[in-house]
Structure 1
Amino acid sequence: MQPAQPPFRRRGKKIRVGLSHVTVLNESVERNVIWHILGAGAQGLLWAYGLHQSHQHCRLLVRNSIPGAMATYQSGDRTVHFSVSMLTAELVQEPIEYLLVTVKANQARQALQSIRSELSDDAIVVLMQNGIGVESLARAVLPPRTRFLLGSSTHGSYRQSANHIVHAGQGQMLIGDDTGQISADHPAIQLLQQTPLNVRWHDNIQRVLWHKLAVNACANPLTALLNCRNGELRQQPVAQSWLPALIEETCAVLAAEGHPLAVSELRQKIEQVLQITAANFSSTQQDYLAGRETELAFINGTLIRCAEIHGIEVPAHREILRIVEQRGSLGAWQALSNS
């Protein structure tokens, strides 16, 4: 058995990260810290792997319970098999105090409603969705004393099969709080930073989310319509013909929202993301290919709504969102080429 990691302290609390569990001691009351993960997609499984590797308890909240499920993590030539508890919300026996929400933005409202009664009154909820808008609906759905953290992942990952995740691109988990309720030295943040997922605190998480939205709004619809991996966009003539207009419109809206990016900066960010996650399929591409609703209402849709407020014209974003929403995968290339 490996020795426990050294304790760290904050405001009278002592957190000990041991081999099999994490214990919080506060005023002589001892209890296990259990992370619950709402959503068993690629990001949920990535968090489950990270928590497992740092010897922390976690449970995936799913539609059909599999208490002793096995999952697979793959990164290059490295493969790790690990056990994970998959439970329905009804089988959770104690109030949920630490919740990672990894369902997609368009699934968040229904998913949060399904676990509302299981949350403790002052639970810490980490929202990891793409786009803008989930925080406001989460505040409307969950108890008023719930404390929220906002997160953004730059990891590239996708599911090879139901419980098999491929970590296609190493990145960061950026987490922050724009309300001032939680700070970087909070025990929850310290625990997440024990994982191998490169978790970092960011003081301006809204800017992070807007800048990620900017990249996703330009790249994700194209990966869906051209049915390609992220890195393949760089060699797609049709994608390269669309990107200049999408980038310019995006930068105009970001400036109006107070999170400016120069056109050259956004193009560089897009290039970096496409390079780092070259082998990855975007979540939009996967949803589109499977005939599911995509997250673009929270990405391009948010951009369009903000453009309307500021009186900015965004014809390229309107058109590409229309193509995604109205056309199936057959003829997608022709749809783009003839637009």
Structure 2
Amino acid sequence: MQHWVIIGGGAIGCLWAASLQQQHIAASLVVRNNDALTRYRTAGGISLQRSTTTFQCQPTAYTAVQYDHPIDRLIIATKAQHTAQALASVASRLTDDCIILSLQNGMGQQQHILDHYPNARLYCGVSTDGAYLQSPFHVVHAGAGTTRIGRYPENAHDTPETSALIAELPTDVLTICADQHIERQLWQKLAINCLINPLTALYRCHNGELINHPQARPRLEQLAEELDRIIAAEGLAELVPAALSTALNVAKITAANRSSMFADVLAGRDTEINFITGYLCQRAAQHNIKVPCNQKVLDDIRLLKPNA
């Protein structure tokens, strides 16, 4: 029987660990440090709240140092900026052909995985599930969405393999499907994150407030214009000019939400800016396209947190 190791005890890591357990699929959770492990034990494991029901489970939890079994199925559910450290902490336990499933925001960390773990089989998941931690290891599945999974980089010949992988996942409790065009999905999500997350952090506002914000809305439109040029240069012209309208629609639907970047800034944590706007600016440089508005946003967010 396959055994999944989930690294990252945030909302997505807890959602997937609990969902695997709920479907009786073997899973272990790797948390950041001994303090996190203590909090896990104090909480009595993971509580997964869906609507009016709560599922309690106790997948075995470890720190990376403690986990000493071979890993051939790994889910990365950390923040993008913690990918390298998280993988390095379990690298000696990864089997040669380990399957790595990245369930993360941002782009750029995928190439790090390919460069440092060339024998691994990398898959990416892009999800519209809404989940947040009400308290440590108490995850609320607030909105049931779909997780699209595909091999990275894209390879149409891997479709049967992707389908076989999905058969190992908790499809009874989460909606999961294969996607041959996962890079397109990653870019669509990156575009939304580029337009919403940094501006909510800079203007200290909820998502919906961006729509009519006197300072943020003009900047959002300028960011979208630059973003469209990069997306077209990436060969994804069919996504242009949908970025602005999509972001505004997401801001409306999630009006009361606080973006993850805004939450990180408020909590004094490092943000994912280098893997969101930072990645966009890197791609712009590769295409020799100037993106002064996005570069300014990148610089402004970095100023909020010197080590971001």
Cα offsets for 1:46-104 (capped at 9, x unmatched): 11122122221211111234686422223444433332321123333431111111111
Gaps of 5+ in 2: none
| Whole-angstrom distance in 1 between the partners of 2:82 and 2:250 | 25
- Given the alignment of the two structures, is residue 319 of structure 1 paired with residue 296 of structure 2, yes or no? yes
Cα offsets for 1:215-270 (capped at 9, x unmatched): 1101110122233333443353433222110111101110011112222x222321
| Whole-angstrom distance in 2 between the partners of 1:70 and 1:127 | 23
Aligned position for 2:69:
94
Structure 2 matches for 1:86-165, cutoff 5 A?
A: 86-142=61-117, 144-165=118-139
| Whole-angstrom distance in 1 between the partners of 2:17 and 2:24 | 11
Q: What's the offset of the Cα at 1:189?
A: 1.3
Aligned position for 2:26:
57
Q: Which amino acid aligns with 1:262?
A: V
Which has a greater percent of strand?
A: 1
Aligned position for 2:4:
35
Which has a greater percent of helix?
A: 2
C-alpha change, 1:87 and 1:211, in structure 2 (3 Å) is same
| Whole-angstrom distance in 1 between the partners of 2:145 and 2:253 | 8
| Whole-angstrom distance in 1 between the partners of 2:70 and 2:157 | 21
Q: What's the offset of the Cα at 1:182?
A: 3.7
Aligned position for 1:183:
159
- Given the alignment of the two structures, is residue 74 of structure 1 paired with residue 74 of structure 2, yes or no? no
- What TM-score comes out, normalization by structure 1 length? 0.80
> Is the Cα–Cα contact under 8 Å of residues 100 and 123 in structure 2 kept in the other structure?
yes
Structure 2 matches for 1:1-339, cutoff 5 A?
A: 32-62=1-31, 63-64=33-34, 65=37, 69-142=44-117, 144-177=118-151, 178-179=154-155, 182-184=158-160, 186-192=163-169, 194-260=171-237, 261-263=239-241, 265-327=242-304
Q: Number of matched residues?
A: 295
Aligned position for 1:7:
none
Q: Which amino acid aligns with 1:167?
A: H
Q: Which amino acid aligns with 1:145?
A: N
Structure 1 runs of 4+ aligned residues shifted over 6 Å read none
| Whole-angstrom distance in 1 between the partners of 2:155 and 2:286 | 24
Deviates more, 1:282-291 or 1:105-114: 282-291
| Greater relative contact order (Cα < 8 A, sep 6+) | 2
C-alpha change, 1:192 and 1:276, in structure 2 (3 Å) is farther
C-alpha change, 1:86 and 1:276, in structure 2 (3 Å) is farther
C-alpha change, 1:175 and 1:251, in structure 2 (3 Å) is same
Q: What's the offset of the Cα at 1:193?
A: 5.1
Cα offsets for 1:254-288 (capped at 9, x unmatched): 0011112222x222321343344444432212211
Percent identity for Structure 1 against Structure 2:
38
Aligned CA-pair RMSD? 2.2
Deviates more, 1:133-142 or 1:251-260: 133-142
> Is the Cα–Cα contact under 8 Å of residues 112 and 141 in structure 1 kept in the other structure?
no
- What TM-score comes out, normalization by structure 2 length? 0.87
> Is the Cα–Cα contact under 8 Å of residues 113 and 141 in structure 1 kept in the other structure?
no
**Partner SS for 2:173:** coil
Gaps of 5+ in 1: 1-31, 329-339
| Whole-angstrom distance in 2 between the partners of 1:183 and 1:253 | 28
> Is the Cα–Cα contact under 8 Å of residues 169 and 280 in structure 1 kept in the other structure?
no
Q: Rg bigger for which structure?
A: 1
**Partner SS for 1:121:** strand
| Whole-angstrom distance in 2 between the partners of 1:91 and 1:161 | 24
Deviates more, 1:131-140 or 1:243-252: 131-140
Q: Which amino acid aligns with 1:149?
A: Y
> Is the Cα–Cα contact under 8 Å of residues 38 and 60 in structure 1 kept in the other structure?
yes
Q: Which amino acid aligns with 1:56?
A: I
C-alpha change, 1:255 and 1:110, in structure 2 (3 Å) is same
C-alpha change, 1:320 and 1:93, in structure 2 (3 Å) is closer
